[in-house]
Amino acid sequence: MREYDLIIIGGGASGIICAIEAYKKGIKNILLIEKDNVLGGSLNLSYYNISKQRYITGKTYEKFLLKELEKCEIDIKLDTMVIKIEDENKILCTNPANGIEKIKGKNIILANGAKEGSRKALDMVGDRCSGILTVGMANKILNMGNIVPGKNILIYDKKTLYMIKDELKNRNINVVGIISKDSDVDTYGLTDKVYNNYEIDSIYGEGRIESVKLVKDDKEEIVKCDTLIFARPMLSDGLVAMRSNIKLNPSTTGPEVNDKFMTSMDNVYACGNGIYIHEYIEDIEDECKKLVDNLL
C-alpha cells in the first residue's frame, strides 16, 4: 500500500492551495486526488469576480493556481472517487485505471468543496420534464458557445444567480420572473417581475417544461416558461465525511472542525467550502495557510 505524508481529497481551489502551501512549507510526499478528469473544480466555470480585494474571475485564478502547482513535485490522481476514509487513515478509492485501491496518509485534508441545492430538496410535485436546471448546469450550457439553457426562464431563489447573471444579459435571454423570499430583491436588471414569498406547487410539461404553478396563501399563479433554474444556496459537500463516520456540522452539511481545522477523526482535516461557504477567495487562502501550518 502506497503511503503519503499528506493526502488532499479534492482538486478545487482549496485543495490546490493546500497542496502548494504544504509543498512550500517542506512537506514533499503529497498526493492530490480529484474525482473529475481535470483540476479546478468550480473555478473551471467561474467567469465572475471571486475576490474582495481585486477583480479576478475564478477562471483566471485557476490558471494562476495551476501554474504554481506545476512548480511543485506533487502526485495527482484524476478520475478518482474517494469512497471513504477507514481506520489508520487508509483511503478507499476507485478509478478506471486501478479499480478499487487503498492509499494511506499520515495526514489527510478534506477539500471537497460545495454542491448545489436542487428541486429534490423542495416539497413540490409535477411532471418529469426537461428544462429544469441548477445554476451550475445552466452555467455549463452557457459556456458551450452558442447554446442557451432556454428562451423563457423562471428562476427560483437568487443566492447563486450572480454566477450566470452576466451571461443571461449578454445573450438577451428572457427571464420571466424570479421567485424569492427576500423583500428587497436585486434582479440584476434581468426582469421586473418578482414573485415575493411564492412557492412552487407544481411543474407542468410534456417533454419539456411548459408552465409552473406558484402559490402564496390563497393565491395561485401559472407562469409560462420553457426553463426553470434553481439558484439556491450552495451546501458544503460532506459526503466523504459522512461515509467515514466523521461528525458533520448540521448547519453547513460539511464536516465539523475544531480551531486547528481537524475533524472528529484524528489527523483528518477539512477546509474551504467543504466546511462552510466562503464568499471570497482570500478567506479560503488564509484558511488553507493556517491549516497547513497546523500540520508542521
Measured over the CA atoms of residue 257, residue 260, residue 264 and residue 268, the dihedral's sign is positive
pLDDT at position 120 = 54
Q: How far is CA 145 from CA 169, 175, 230, 242, in A?
A: 15, 20, 22, 38
pLDDT at position 182 = 82
Put the strands of the sheet holding 174-180 in their side by side order.
Answer: 132-134, 227-230, 152-156, 174-180, 194-196
270 neighbors 111 (Cβ within 8 angstroms): yes
102 neighbors 84 (Cβ within 8 angstroms): no
211 neighbors 223 (Cβ within 8 angstroms): yes
Q: How far is CA 59 from the centre of its chain?
A: 14
pLDDT at position 118 = 58
Show the domains of the chain with their CATH numbers: 3-115+234-294 (3.50.50.60), 118-230 (3.50.50.60)
| β partners of residue 97 | none
pLDDT at position 278 = 95
| β partners of residue 133 | 229
Separation of alpha carbons 273 and 97, rounded Å: 29
The torsion angles phi and psi of 117, rounded to 5 degrees, stand at -80, 150
The torsion angles phi and psi of 119, rounded to 5 degrees, stand at -60, -35
pLDDT at position 69 = 98
pLDDT at position 127 = 62
**In three state form, how does the secondary structure of 124-140 look?**
CEECCCECEEEHHHHHH
Residue count of the chain, please give it: 296
Separation of alpha carbons 111 and 77, rounded Å: 14
pLDDT at position 121 = 46
Q: How far is CA 131 from CA 203, 207, 274, in A?
A: 11, 9, 29
Q: How far is CA 185 from the centre of its chain?
A: 23
DSSP 3-state assignment of 156? strand
Across the chain, which has 296 residues, the per-10-residue mean pLDDT values are 95 98 96 96 89 92 97 97 96 94 97 77 63 92 89 94 92 95 87 94 93 94 96 92 96 95 97 95 97 96
Pairing assessment for the beta strands 174-180 and 194-196 based on DSSP bridges: parallel
Contacts of 235 (CB under 8 A, 6+ apart): 114, 115, 116, 117, 252, 253, 277
Place of cell 492551495: 17
Full-model pTM: 0.87
Separation of alpha carbons 259 and 265, rounded Å: 14
| β partners of residue 226 | none
Separation of alpha carbons 241 and 245, rounded Å: 6
186 neighbors 234 (Cβ within 8 angstroms): no
155 neighbors 229 (Cβ within 8 angstroms): yes
